[in-house]
Structure 1
Amino acid sequence: MKFLILAVLISIQLINVLSLDCYYNTECKYKYFSSKTPYENVRGDIRDSIVKEEGCEPISIWATIRHGKRNPGEKFAKNIKDILNLKDSIINSFEEGNSLLCAQDVENLNKWETNQDMLEKPNEITNEGYLELFRLAERMKEALPDLLNGLQNEDTLFLPGFGARLHVSAKSFVDGLANKNLEIKEAENNYSIAAPYASCGKFQTEYFHNPSIYREVEEYLKTPDAIDVRNQNKMKERVEKKLGLNISLSFKEVIAIYDVCRYSWDGIGNKPNPWCAVFSIEDLKVQEYIGDLEHYYRNGYGVPDYSSIFGKITLADTYKHFELAKNNEGKKIISYFTHATMLDMILVALNVRKDAKPLLGAQRDMKRKWRTTFLSTFGANMVAVLNRCQNGTQNEYHNVAFYWNEEPLKELCNQGVCSWQEFENIFKPFLHFNTDFCEYKWTIVDE
């Protein structure tokens, strides 16, 4: 009898502990999903962070912007579609008392409706993705009204790289400027500014499409930090136990649940996805680090020679346009629309967000600077603002303020503001870089 009472008490305590781990009432839900993070989850606000210096006026803007939130690719969409078929089984498992999920989490999952576009329109920009860039443009216009009100075509250059989602993102940005008549240029066939890496055969073959570059990811998957999360046997056993299913999940199906979690997280509406309840915070942190390693060794400091060159080729355009604007011959706004890869490469070219030691699979660096969640997420952007100033003696001078995701890029110059001489010292040498080393043109383009 005493044993029975003790067992009941232990069960009650276990239930209480589990209830504290419910997803729905977790105050600070983990909302960082590497490069698939909604922009709203991490952005600053250019209206608050814009540098205002007495005697200065902005005369030109140069920006590189990643496309807004998109649907998963075709392969991932298929995996997600398969896992969504288990929704009823998950709910039935809870009703039968086999699940470790909390009641409210299951109720939220039951009410969650599948966005069919996510499954049927691979890689297309979502409604949230449209709004991410639309609202970015609105905030920029509020921050710099004298420069961005009343724009005409001769004042602007909007150029997306190749692919429908980049053109849609460019359009959403232009719409946010409240002038739908502004022209959007067609992508150049070599993407020379928006994405010079995309047509470089040598880089695409040796790195971008070479599975061996992910060896640090493979090393990380062997560590105690990750093995319970990504090891096929241990992870699927843990997830199966939490869901209480009487079927065996494949590793691919568990990862598909993670994809549902992150692709369906509504950043603008501040609506977490109930599928995320399957994972612990530590699970999500491990998944995020895997994304960081992938970007680091494909686009970042893990391939510094390539990444730095491509980033400098793009940034050379900043110098060219600001030199013209400085001499009253430039445009008010120049904006390129590109992919996460290009944002990563720009960071390498500028030598910012660089860790003292390389990111490795052997151990996760909890305090790393290279976190793609804050660097190259959906809608990520670098914005440079050229200012013309006059001091008390009426001598004219210029400076350039830099922003990353609407926050000052403080690692550059004086808290993100460079004198013209500092700007020239950094950016003018970029004019000497080109893609002659590419050997041949890569023609399989990411749509």
Structure 2
Amino acid sequence: QKTITNFFTQALFSFMVYCTVRRLCQKELTELKTWSPRINTTDQKILTHEGEDEMVDMAERFQLRFSELLPERYSNLTFKFRHTATQRTEASAHYFTTGLFGRYTANHVWYPQALDKDPILRFYKLCDKWRHEVDDNPNSLNELAKFKKTNDAVEMTKRVSRRLGLDEVLPYNDVHSMYIACTFETAWTPRIPSPWCSLFTKEDLEVLEYSEDLKYFWVDGYGYEINYKQACPAIGDMIQHLTNTTLPKAVFYFTHSGTLLKVLSFLNLYNDNKKLTADNFRQNKDRKWRVSKIDVFGTNLAFILYRCGDGDKVLTMHQERPVTLPGCPQGELCPLSRILELYGNSVHSCKFNEMCAYSVPS
């Protein structure tokens, strides 16, 4: 897969090659012609300063909401933190703990040995069947490939090309590179408009957004059963902590987009109950599966246990907002007993090694 730096380089190359003296706006044209990437190859896949601040702020908000559960004094008996063997999750954990305990204490938080192929935080790295049949399989992107050739996608590339004053139509992938530059730069520096964003209308962005949703629907979401069924170890770990009456009181995991999307799908959240395909873009304008909302930078999923007089109950939060798990009472805390009914069988029958075993076709 291309890195974000590759995307930026390709976007700039495409613009410089195709751009002519014809243009709609001199100011925007100048900004694009003088644009240069704000990062370099050494910065790829690391947490940005914006991400650092986001983790600190998020921790402070959680602590404000759940002050009894999240005291400012750190104890490795009360708190459990865990991240994968990547700089961005390690840094996310560090800055999150900074928000909870302050800079000094954050430097003394204990973490277990980080694993690249963590069976809970990155279970898909251990799932050979998913890797061969989905992640590394070009057929998984068939719907995306078909969508790029639809009238909606072709017309979008024509509009962008006309906006640039071009005599020929930009390839879809070049326009997509510009879209990626727009989205990432907006996330990194929201107060500084990205010149790439000026190329797109709302209609254009809806088309490009759908292409992203198609990709992740089939690779990480409801497209294939193996995508979400393999998340059973992570759900089992969550249930184990909810039913454990001993310490720690608070458990925080720092993981990846691929994990969160599979877990959300296992929980049956944001399920439109129909496949996203190349030919139903217009019918899916109000879809629930919208990665730009459910899997943004800093995406978080929380399960908070309440000891109530009529039994233990669970508040589920996604993006710091309460969500109702399908099968739970709408707008209420979900009884822990109901959580066990909904997911207990899948967890108890979780045969991860068996479902993820891959046999090379003869």
TM-score by structure 2 length?
Answer: 0.85
**Corresponding residue for 2:220?**
299
Compared CA separation, residues 249 and 373, structure 1 to 2 (3 A): closer
Distance in 2, Cα, partners of 1:190 & 1:112? 38
**Corresponding residue for 2:43?**
121
Structure 2 counterpart of 1:377, one-letter code: V
Structure 1 counterpart of 2:248, one-letter code: K
**Corresponding residue for 1:187?**
114
Compared CA separation, residues 250 and 346, structure 1 to 2 (3 A): closer
2:301 to 361, 377, 382: 382
Deviations, residues 181-228 of structure 1 (Å, cap 9, x unaligned): 222222236411112111211110111111111111122223222222
Compared CA separation, residues 202 and 380, structure 1 to 2 (3 A): same
Q: CA deviation at 1:116?
A: 3.0
1:254-333 correspondence runs (5 A): 254-266=175-187, 269-304=190-225, 306-324=226-244, 327=245, 329-333=246-250
Distance in 2, Cα, partners of 1:147 & 1:226? 49
1:137 to 59, 62, 84: 59
Preserved CA contact (<8 Å) 1:171 1:184: no
Structure 2 counterpart of 1:126, one-letter code: T
Distance in 2, Cα, partners of 1:193 & 1:417? 26
Preserved CA contact (<8 Å) 2:14 2:174: no
Distance in 1, Cα, partners of 2:15 & 2:224? 41
Deviates more, 1:177-186 or 1:146-155: 177-186
Q: Which runs of 5+ in 1 are unaligned?
A: 1-72, 230-234, 391-395, 442-447
**Corresponding residue for 1:167?**
90
Q: CA deviation at 1:288?
A: 0.6
Q: Which runs of 5+ in 2 are unaligned?
A: none
Distance in 2, Cα, partners of 1:201 & 1:215? 21
Q: CA deviation at 1:431?
A: 3.4
- How many residues were matched structurally? 348
Deviations, residues 419-445 of structure 1 (Å, cap 9, x unaligned): 12212212333133132222269xxxx
TM-score by structure 1 length?
Answer: 0.70
Compared CA separation, residues 341 and 112, structure 1 to 2 (3 A): same
Preserved CA contact (<8 Å) 1:220 1:363: no
Structure 1 counterpart of 2:154, one-letter code: I
Distance in 2, Cα, partners of 1:242 & 1:419? 54
1:417 to 333, 337, 347: 333
User: Percent same amino acid among aligned pairs?
Assistant: 26
By relative contact order (CA 8 Å, sep 6+), the higher-ranking structure is: 1
Distance in 2, Cα, partners of 1:432 & 1:82? 46
| Structure number, greater radius of gyration | 1
Distance in 2, Cα, partners of 1:218 & 1:83? 20
Name the SS of the counterpart of 1:133 in structure 2.
Answer: helix
Matched, 1:398 2:312: yes
Structure 1 counterpart of 2:301, one-letter code: M
Preserved CA contact (<8 Å) 1:261 1:273: yes
2:255 to 322, 338, 357: 338
Q: CA deviation at 1:109?
A: 5.2
Deviations, residues 242-301 of structure 1 (Å, cap 9, x unaligned): 223689966554332222111101467444322111122211111110111111111111
Name the SS of the counterpart of 1:439 in structure 2.
Answer: coil
Distance in 2, Cα, partners of 1:126 & 1:275? 20
CA RMSD of aligned residues (A): 2.9
Preserved CA contact (<8 Å) 2:7 2:181: no
Q: CA deviation at 1:110?
A: 7.4
Compared CA separation, residues 369 and 418, structure 1 to 2 (3 A): same
Distance in 2, Cα, partners of 1:206 & 1:89? 37
Distance in 2, Cα, partners of 1:419 & 1:378? 30
Preserved CA contact (<8 Å) 1:266 1:272: no
Compared CA separation, residues 336 and 310, structure 1 to 2 (3 A): farther
Distance in 2, Cα, partners of 1:209 & 1:162? 22
**Corresponding residue for 1:215?**
142
Structure 1 counterpart of 2:153, one-letter code: A
Q: CA deviation at 1:111?
A: 8.2
Preserved CA contact (<8 Å) 1:136 1:176: yes
